[in-house]
Structure 1
Amino acid sequence: MAFLPQDAIIAEEKLTKYLLVLLSKDDKSKFLARAGYTLDNWQQLERDLRAQVLTQPAERIETTRYGHKYAIHACLRGINGVEFNILTVWMVVSDTTKFVTLVPDQGANL
């Protein structure tokens, strides 16, 4: 287990054009809306990912030609106080850590 850097790159587009918009496939916006996250407050989701997720240990799950992929299981407490167990995926390439995605942590919610 390792800890990923607090200054990891969380692309604005990843939040505003992927996670917080309604998608016909693999939609995450409804899940995140239950915790109070919307396009109007995407910056709060970024802050919460840094404060609540990047403070948890990361587990290397695979090495690809693109870099080392890590997973972090965490409890995310939303703007409205609703808590969710989530799984986030991060990629580390040449000392640069980037946010890849966030999904409900099905195993932890059972």
Structure 2
Amino acid sequence: MVLLPQNAIIAEEKLTKYLLVPLPKDDKSQFLAKAGYTLANWQQLEQDLRAQVLTQPAEQIDTNRYGTKYAIHAQLCGANGIELRIITIWMVANGTTKFVTLVPDKGANS
């Protein structure tokens, strides 16, 4: 287990054009809306990923030609106080850490 850097790259497009918009397949926007995350406050999600998720240990799950992939299991507490159990995926390549995606942690014990 390692800690990933707090200054990891979290692309605005990942949040504003993927996670926080309704999608016909693999929609995450409704899940994130439970904790108060919307397109209108996407910066809050970015800030909370850095403060609440990147402070948790990361587990290496794969290495491929693109780099080393890590997963972080965490609880994300939204501005409305609702906690979501999530898994985030991060890629580390050439000394740079990038946010890949976020999914609900369906295996977490409630």
TM-score by length of 1: 0.98
CA distance in 2, matches of 1:105, 1:69: 17
Unaligned runs of 5+ in 1: none
Unaligned runs of 5+ in 2: none
Matched with 2:108 is 108
Residue 73 of structure 1: aligned partner: 73
Residue 30 of structure 2: aligned partner: 30
Helix, strand or coil at the partner of 1:108 = coil
Question: How far apart, in 2, do the equivalents of 1:96 and 1:53 lie?
Answer: 17
What's the Cα RMSD here?
0.7
Deviation at 1:23, TM superposition (A): 0.1
- Runs of 4+ residues deviating >3 angstroms: none
Distance 1:63 1:101 in 2: 16
Distance 1:31 1:64 in 2: 30
Aligned residue in 2 for 1:63: 63
Instruction: State how far apart, in whole Å, the 1-side matches of 2:78 and 2:102 are.
Output: 14
Identity of aligned residues (%): 76
Amino acid at match of 2:86: I
